[in-house]
Amino acid sequence: MVQAEARRSVDMVGLMARTLSGIKPTGPLTLGRYLGAVRHWVDEQSSGEAFYFVADLHALTTVQEPGEVAARTVELATLLVAAGVDPQRGSTVFVQSHVRQHAEMTFMLECVTSFGELRRMTQFKDKSGEQDFVSGGLLTYPVLMAVDILLYGIERVPVGDDQRQHLELTRTIAQRFNSRYGDTFVLPEAVVPPVAARIKDLQDPTRKMSASSTAGPGVIDMLDPVDDIVKKIRRATTDTVGSVAYDAEKQPGVSNLLDILGACTDEDPEKLAERYDGYGQLKADCADAVLDVVRPIQDRYRELERSGAMSSLLADGAKHASGIAELAIRRAQANRGLWTG
Ligand code: TYM
């Protein structure tokens, strides 16, 4: 009975366009994460059913202070809603660890992922080099990410450019499971924005603006005081070329500012470049455009914090997500050949 129900549900999932994405509570919501991912989540939610979650288990792959993970989890979830990810517009918002099926399904899919595939992942190579203690979780993390997606029969995954490789592995794992054990998982696609897919650090524009625990001078935290945001943009590294061109190779700092301005104003960065002949005006306009985006999100964030609405919103989200995930896991267990009673 349960299996028939599970099969029917997953078959239906295959017919519906579902979107999902996640964010790790390892640091603030940076302007990069917002422009590269979160604001597209808001657009995607109107085109079908959507699932957005805070990937708190993913934060455990590197050593984090326990209190910090919890505080960042609530902060990020509140910011998602403040940015417009809205349960009333069809989005299910939840915290990954509240849906136990994510961890449960991971082991089964680790068994169809090879050690070589995991060892070759760019993020593993980069991050393992930075850690004194390289955890097994850091290696198997991409399988947990695949599970996040495959549990919900997702077709569209809006992410920044750095997540492409993880999406490719997700498809490989799903295809391998389907071909060995029968049609079980929907194959997802990465949806990467054409502009601002990789916002760079303002001080070192050869590196991505990353979300490590504190936002330094090259990183804008969406909750930074507005004066700090203006200062960070004013002090952004440019170059000595003296003219404005959209050329990431020759003028990475200037191109990054054009990307940010273009993403905030929905304009083409290449065309924007033609309007400027000096860096000062570009920085001033970039700061104005960023503040126009940031201010309403900060206001809504404070309101949500005061209202205390997040706990029940996240509990409802986790309940809805668990219902779907449970059916998917039972189907996968049955197809894989576990005795399901
Ligand atoms: P995370 O938390 O590192 O980043 C969240 C999202 O923001 C995008 N992003 C950026 N985009 C443009 N410029 C930047 N500088 C920048 N920095 C980050 C990322 O591409 C991402 O889309 N593994 C994921 C979280 C995750 C997930 C998932 C995503 C867990 N499970 C399932 C999709 C589906 C991560 O670490 O993202």
Residues 315 and 284 placed together within one structural domain of the fold: no
Residues 293 and 319 placed together within one structural domain of the fold: no
Report the amino acid identity of residue 208: K
Domain CATH number, residue 170: 3.40.50.620
Nearest CA to ligand 1 atom 9: 33
pLDDT value at 298 more than 90: yes
Residue 112: inside a domain, yes or no?
yes
Residues 254 and 278 placed together within one structural domain of the fold: yes
Cβ-based neighbour number of residue 336 at 10 Å: 17
Residues 159 and 19 placed together within one structural domain of the fold: yes
Residues 252 and 164 placed together within one structural domain of the fold: no
SS3 of the chain: CHHHHHHHHHHHHHHCCEEEEEECCCCCCEHHHHHHHHHHHHHHHHHCEEEEEECCHHHHHCCCCHHHHHHHHHHHHHHHHHHCCCHHHCEEEEEHHHCCHHHHHHHHHHCCCCHHHHHCCHHHHHHHHHCCCCCHHHHHHHHHHHHHHHCCCCCEEECCHHHHHHHHHHHHHHHHHHHHHCCCCCCCEEECCCCCCCCECCCCCCCECCCCCCCCCCCCECCCCHHHHHHHHHCCCCCCCCCCCCCCCCCHHHHHHHHHHHHHHCCCHHHHHCCCCCHHHHHHHHHHHHHHHHHHHHHHHHHHHHHCCHHHHHHHHHHHHHHHHHHHHHHHHHHHCCCCC
Residue 249: inside a domain, yes or no?
yes
Residue 157: inside a domain, yes or no?
yes
Q: What distance in Å separates the CA atoms of residue 110 and residue 250, rounded to the nearest whole number?
A: 42
Least confident of 5-19, 74-88, 188-202: 5-19
pLDDT of residue 213: 60
Residues 140 and 27 placed together within one structural domain of the fold: yes
Least confident of 1-15, 118-132, 170-184: 1-15
Calculate how far, in angstroms, residue 33's C-alpha sits from the geometric centre of ligand 1: 7
pLDDT of residue 242: 87
Nearest CA to ligand 1 atom 4: 23
pLDDT band at 30 (very low <50, low <70, confident <90, very high): very high
Nearest CA to ligand 1 atom 7: 33
Tens digits of residue pLDDT in 47-67: 789 999 999 999 999 877 889
Tens digits of residue pLDDT in 110-131: 999 999 999 999 999 999 998 8
pLDDT value at 194 more than 70: yes
pLDDT value at 340 more than 90: no
pLDDT value at 289 more than 70: yes
Calculate how far, in angstroms, residue 180's C-alpha sits from the geometric centre of ligand 1: 30
Residues 192 and 225 placed together within one structural domain of the fold: no
Average pLDDT of the segment spanning 291-320: 97
Residues 81 and 47 placed together within one structural domain of the fold: yes
Residues 293 and 325 placed together within one structural domain of the fold: no
pLDDT of residue 13: 44
Calculate how far, in angstroms, residue 93's C-alpha sits from the geometric centre of ligand 1: 16
Q: How many domains does the chain have?
A: 2
pLDDT of residue 112: 98
pLDDT of residue 4: 45
pLDDT value at 335 more than 90: yes
Least confident of 5-14, 96-105, 137-146: 5-14
pLDDT of residue 17: 83
pLDDT value at 8 more than 50: no
pLDDT of residue 2: 41
Residue 261's domain comprises: 211-305
Average pLDDT of the segment spanning 191-196: 90
38, 29 Cβ separation under 8 angstroms: yes
Residues 189 and 231 placed together within one structural domain of the fold: no
Average pLDDT of the segment spanning 234-261: 95
Nearest CA to ligand 1 atom 27: 22
Calculate how far, in angstroms, residue 324's C-alpha sits from the geometric centre of ligand 1: 23
Average pLDDT of the segment spanning 151-155: 97
What is the average pLDDT value for the chain, to the nearest integer? 93
Residue 283: inside a domain, yes or no?
yes
44, 85 Cβ separation under 8 angstroms: no
Name the residue of 145, 163, 165 whose CB sits within 8 Å of the most ligand 1 atoms, as the mutation to test its pocket: 163
pLDDT value at 31 more than 70: yes
Residues 131 and 14 placed together within one structural domain of the fold: yes
pLDDT value at 11 more than 70: no
Name the residue of 18, 24, 161 whose CB sits within 8 Å of the most ligand 1 atoms, as the mutation to test its pocket: 24
pLDDT value at 183 more than 60: yes
Name the residue of 85, 154, 162, 171 whose CB sits within 8 Å of the most ligand 1 atoms, as the mutation to test its pocket: 162
Calculate how far, in angstroms, residue 306's C-alpha sits from the geometric centre of ligand 1: 28
Ligand 1-lining residues (CB < 6 angstroms): 20-24, 32-33, 36-37, 55, 58, 145, 148-149, 157, 159-160, 162-163, 166, 196-199, 208-209, 211
What pTM did the predictor assign? 0.93
